[in-house]
Amino acid sequence: MSLLTGAEWLGEKSLFYWGDSDVHGFQILAQLRSHFPTAQSLLMDEATFARYHGGATGGSFTQQILPDLTAAEQQLYQLLLETNARLEQEKLPLRYVTATVQRTAANG
Protein backbone atom coordinates (compact mmCIF):
# COMPACT_ATOMS: atom_id res chain seq x y z
CA MET A 1 0.00 0.00 0.00
CA SER A 2 2.90 2.35 0.66
CA LEU A 3 3.58 2.45 -3.08
CA LEU A 4 0.18 4.06 -3.65
CA THR A 5 0.62 6.74 -1.01
CA GLY A 6 2.38 9.12 -3.37
CA ALA A 7 -0.11 8.62 -6.19
CA GLU A 8 -2.37 11.55 -5.31
CA TRP A 9 -3.95 11.44 -8.77
CA LEU A 10 -5.72 8.25 -7.68
CA GLY A 11 -7.76 10.35 -5.28
CA GLU A 12 -9.48 11.89 -8.32
CA LYS A 13 -10.61 8.47 -9.60
CA SER A 14 -13.34 6.06 -8.61
CA LEU A 15 -11.49 3.31 -6.78
CA PHE A 16 -12.84 -0.15 -6.09
CA TYR A 17 -11.25 -2.86 -3.98
CA TRP A 18 -12.15 -6.52 -4.24
CA GLY A 19 -10.24 -8.74 -1.91
CA ASP A 20 -10.96 -11.95 -0.10
CA SER A 21 -13.79 -11.66 2.40
CA ASP A 22 -11.66 -12.48 5.41
CA VAL A 23 -10.00 -10.55 8.21
CA HIS A 24 -6.98 -9.67 6.07
CA GLY A 25 -9.11 -8.54 3.14
CA PHE A 26 -10.95 -6.01 5.31
CA GLN A 27 -7.71 -4.85 6.91
CA ILE A 28 -6.30 -4.15 3.44
CA LEU A 29 -9.50 -2.30 2.48
CA ALA A 30 -9.22 -0.14 5.60
CA GLN A 31 -5.58 0.59 4.81
CA LEU A 32 -6.53 1.64 1.28
CA ARG A 33 -9.25 3.91 2.67
CA SER A 34 -6.78 5.57 5.01
CA HIS A 35 -5.14 6.97 1.86
CA PHE A 36 -8.20 7.10 -0.42
CA PRO A 37 -11.33 7.54 1.73
CA THR A 38 -13.78 7.24 -1.17
CA ALA A 39 -12.57 3.78 -2.24
CA GLN A 40 -15.47 1.34 -2.41
CA SER A 41 -15.49 -2.36 -1.71
CA LEU A 42 -16.84 -4.71 -4.31
CA LEU A 43 -18.25 -8.19 -3.66
CA MET A 44 -17.22 -7.99 0.01
CA ASP A 45 -20.72 -7.87 1.46
CA GLU A 46 -22.69 -10.07 3.80
CA ALA A 47 -25.10 -11.32 1.11
CA THR A 48 -22.26 -12.49 -1.14
CA PHE A 49 -20.48 -14.04 1.81
CA ALA A 50 -23.58 -15.90 3.01
CA ARG A 51 -24.37 -17.14 -0.49
CA TYR A 52 -20.93 -18.44 -1.44
CA HIS A 53 -19.01 -19.17 1.75
CA GLY A 54 -18.14 -22.82 1.61
CA GLY A 55 -16.85 -23.24 5.14
CA ALA A 56 -13.23 -22.20 4.50
CA THR A 57 -11.25 -20.60 7.28
CA GLY A 58 -8.50 -18.00 7.16
CA GLY A 59 -5.02 -18.00 8.56
CA SER A 60 -3.73 -16.38 11.71
CA PHE A 61 -4.40 -12.68 12.10
CA THR A 62 -3.97 -9.78 14.44
CA GLN A 63 -7.23 -8.16 15.45
CA GLN A 64 -7.37 -4.48 14.56
CA ILE A 65 -9.90 -1.70 15.00
CA LEU A 66 -10.86 -0.52 11.51
CA PRO A 67 -12.70 2.81 11.73
CA ASP A 68 -12.58 3.30 7.94
CA LEU A 69 -15.08 0.51 7.24
CA THR A 70 -18.74 1.22 6.56
CA ALA A 71 -21.30 -0.08 9.06
CA ALA A 72 -22.14 -3.05 6.81
CA GLU A 73 -18.46 -3.86 6.26
CA GLN A 74 -17.82 -3.53 9.98
CA GLN A 75 -20.59 -6.03 10.72
CA LEU A 76 -19.08 -8.62 8.38
CA TYR A 77 -15.58 -7.90 9.67
CA GLN A 78 -16.75 -8.59 13.24
CA LEU A 79 -18.27 -11.91 12.13
CA LEU A 80 -15.00 -12.84 10.44
CA LEU A 81 -13.03 -11.94 13.57
CA GLU A 82 -15.25 -14.25 15.62
CA THR A 83 -15.27 -17.18 13.20
CA ASN A 84 -12.05 -16.75 11.16
CA ALA A 85 -14.20 -17.61 8.15
CA ARG A 86 -12.98 -16.84 4.66
CA LEU A 87 -14.43 -16.46 1.18
CA GLU A 88 -11.70 -16.27 -1.42
CA GLN A 89 -12.50 -14.04 -4.38
CA GLU A 90 -11.66 -16.78 -6.89
CA LYS A 91 -14.44 -18.93 -5.41
CA LEU A 92 -17.14 -16.59 -6.73
CA PRO A 93 -18.80 -17.66 -9.98
CA LEU A 94 -17.72 -15.54 -12.92
CA ARG A 95 -21.33 -14.90 -13.89
CA TYR A 96 -22.05 -13.42 -10.44
CA VAL A 97 -18.89 -11.28 -10.53
CA THR A 98 -19.67 -10.01 -14.04
CA ALA A 99 -23.25 -9.11 -13.16
CA THR A 100 -22.14 -7.26 -10.02
CA VAL A 101 -19.43 -5.32 -11.84
CA GLN A 102 -21.85 -4.37 -14.63
CA ARG A 103 -24.48 -3.26 -12.10
CA THR A 104 -21.87 -1.20 -10.23
CA ALA A 105 -20.63 0.43 -13.45
CA ALA A 106 -24.18 1.27 -14.52
CA ASN A 107 -24.85 3.00 -11.18
CA GLY A 108 -21.68 4.94 -11.74
**Domain tally for the chain?**
1
For residue 4, pLDDT over 90 is answered with no
**Which residues touch 15 (CB under 8 Å, ≥6 apart)?**
32, 36, 38, 39, 40
Range of the domain at 32: 2-106
Mean pLDDT over residues 21-33, rounded?
A: 97
The whole-number pLDDT of residue 9 equals 79
What is the phi/psi pair of residue 76, to 5°?
-70, -40
For residue 1, pLDDT over 60 is answered with no
Mean pLDDT over residues 79-104, rounded?
A: 97
Mean pLDDT over residues 47-54, rounded?
A: 97
Rg (CA), the chain: 14
